[in-house]
Structures are given as structure tokens and as C-alpha cells.
């Protein structure tokens, strides 16, 4: 489905909540396959397929996070159709989710009911040095350092040839991103981070609480940058718990 922005990997039951998910740099919609299955049928996951990857590989990647958020805000608005929804973003996807939420909140007054940000320092703390990588050698080294399933492609030349244009585009977008202060969000935030993440500390992740006037919860998991690969069920339980609490008008412990 070239040009389409969202993929569904699970089934949605009656009354299922909706969760838009945003992948990491170099990642594709399939990064959320296991999470979609773990949340099904209670939560309908719509996993974002950025241009330039998998079935959208013939489209140029978007090298500006602001432009990407502009495009996604319109796509989410159309897909949501006035129904409540939440966002989940991991690593670069956390920034994409946040900036998309800001646009929806500002332009339509109908942003997400909850924002889950994972594996990323708050943008108000400034960029990490890994956002300023130069050249393919540094990009390859970063993939290996972060680990996760993505690091396995390093030993497959054909896969690397396919993924490098996407990585270059995504890291150019990260290098060009600068957080602009503005009105904070008014939706609850849940911050998720691995205790051994090499690119974000728990303290840096917790700084997300400054970006919303609503309650913020921080959840720390055992693992590195891609803790989600090993703790999918635990993350799914946090998502359901926090969405349930929001529906009741309370906050999860």
C-alpha cells in the first residue's frame, strides 16, 4: 500500500482504544508487530510507516522532523475521525510523537489523550551527541552500540544497502531538529526507559514531565536502548493500565 501511513498487525475488539505508534530512526512499522499483538484486542495499534522504508522504499525519506510532524498531524486527524487516541513513540519516534501531538493540540485542539515516550531524553534538555553522527561508519557503529534487532542487519550487506538511505535521512532529520519552547501539552505522559540505555539516563528521560501540565509517570525497565524487545508484555501492561486510568479519570500507580 504505497503512500499509506499506518499498518495494523493485530485485531481490535469492540470498544478498543486506539494507539498510534512511531518507530525509531531507521525503523519501520513492523517494529511494533510484537507490541501490537500483545495489546490486541484491547488496544488497536496503528503503526506508522514513514516514507522510504519497506513498502514505501521508493519514496524519499523525510529529512526534517518538523515537516514529518506536519504530515503526520494531518494523517492522524483523518484516521482518528474524531475518536480518542493515544501516541507511543520510541527513540526518534518519541520526538515525532511529541511534535505531532503539539501540532494537533495547537491546530485542532484535539490532541492525544495520552502520550507515551520511550528511550529518549526530553527535547528540552538539548540534543544528544549521537544525534550529530557523520558518515556511514559512525551510523553503523551506532547501530551496533544500541543493539536490538536492528543490529543484526550489520552482517547482511543486502539489508544494509536497503537501510542506509533510511538511516541517513533519519539522522539528518535528528541533526536538524531543535526544540522550540511553547505551550505545554495538557495530556498525561508516561515516560519509559531502560536502566542501561547508553543514550539516555533516567534523569534525562524524567525531564519530559516539564512538557505537560498533566501528570507524568516514569517507568524504568531492565535493559538497554531496545529494552522493548525483551519487555514487550510488561510495556503492554503499562500502556493498558495508564489508558484504563485515564478513562476512569485517575492516574495509575
- Residues involved in catalysis: 91
Q: How many CB atoms lie within 10 A of CB 224?
A: 19
Which of these, 130, 154, 146, lies nearest to 224 by C-alpha position?
A: 146
Q: Please list, in sequence order, all residues whose beta carbon lies within 8 angstroms of the beta carbon of residue 33, skipping any fewer than 6 positions away.
A: 9, 47
User: Scanning the structure block, which residue is given the C-alpha cell 552482517?
Assistant: 155
User: Scanning the structure block, which residue is given the C-alpha cell 492516574?
Assistant: 251
* Per-residue CA distances from 156 to 29, 55, 65, 162, 171 (Å): 20, 19, 29, 10, 21
Amino acid at each position: 500500500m504505497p503512500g499509506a501511513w499506518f499498518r495494523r498487525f493485530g485485531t481490535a475488539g469492540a470498544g478498543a482504544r486506539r494507539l498510534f505508534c512511531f518507530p525509531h530512526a531507521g525503523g519501520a512499522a513492523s517494529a511494533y508487530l510484537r507490541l501490537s499483538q500483545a495489546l490486541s484486542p484491547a488496544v488497536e495499534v496503528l503503526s506508522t510507516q514513514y516514507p522510504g522504508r519497506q513498502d514505501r522504499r521508493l519514496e524519499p525519506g523525510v529529512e526534517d522532523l518538523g515537516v514529518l510532524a506536519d504530515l503526520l498531524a494531518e494523517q492522524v486527524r483523518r484516521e482518528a475521525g474524531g475518536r480518542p487516541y493515544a501516541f507511543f513513540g520510541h527513540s526518534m519516534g518519541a520526538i515525532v510523537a511529541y511534535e505531532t501531538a503539539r501540532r494537533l493540540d495547537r491546530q485542532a485542539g484535539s490532541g492525544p489523550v495520552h502520550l507515551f515516550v520511550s528511550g529518549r531524553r526530553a527535547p528540552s534538555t538539548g540534543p544528544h551527541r549521537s544525534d550529530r553522527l557523520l558518515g556511514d561508519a559512525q551510523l553503523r557503529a551506532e547501530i551496533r552500540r544500541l543493539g536490538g534487532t536492528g543490529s543484526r542487519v550489520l552482517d547482511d550487506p543486502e539489508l544494509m544497502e536497503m537501510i542506509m538511505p533510511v538511516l541517513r535521512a533519519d539522522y539528518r532529520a535528528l541533526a536538524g531538529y531543535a526544540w522550540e519552547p511553547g505551550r505545554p501539552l495538557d495530556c498525561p505522559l508516561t515516560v519509559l526507559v531502560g536502566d542501561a540505555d547508553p543514550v539516555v539516563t533516567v534523569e534525562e528521560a524524567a525531564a519530559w514531565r516539564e512538557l505537560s501540565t498533566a501528570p507524568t509517570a516514569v517507568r524504568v525497565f531492565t535493559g538497554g536502548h531496545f529494552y522493548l524487545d525483551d519487555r514487550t508484555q510488561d510495556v503492554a501492561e503499562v500502556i493498558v493500565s495508564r489508558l484504563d486510568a485515564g478513562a476512569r479519570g485517575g492516574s495509575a500507580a
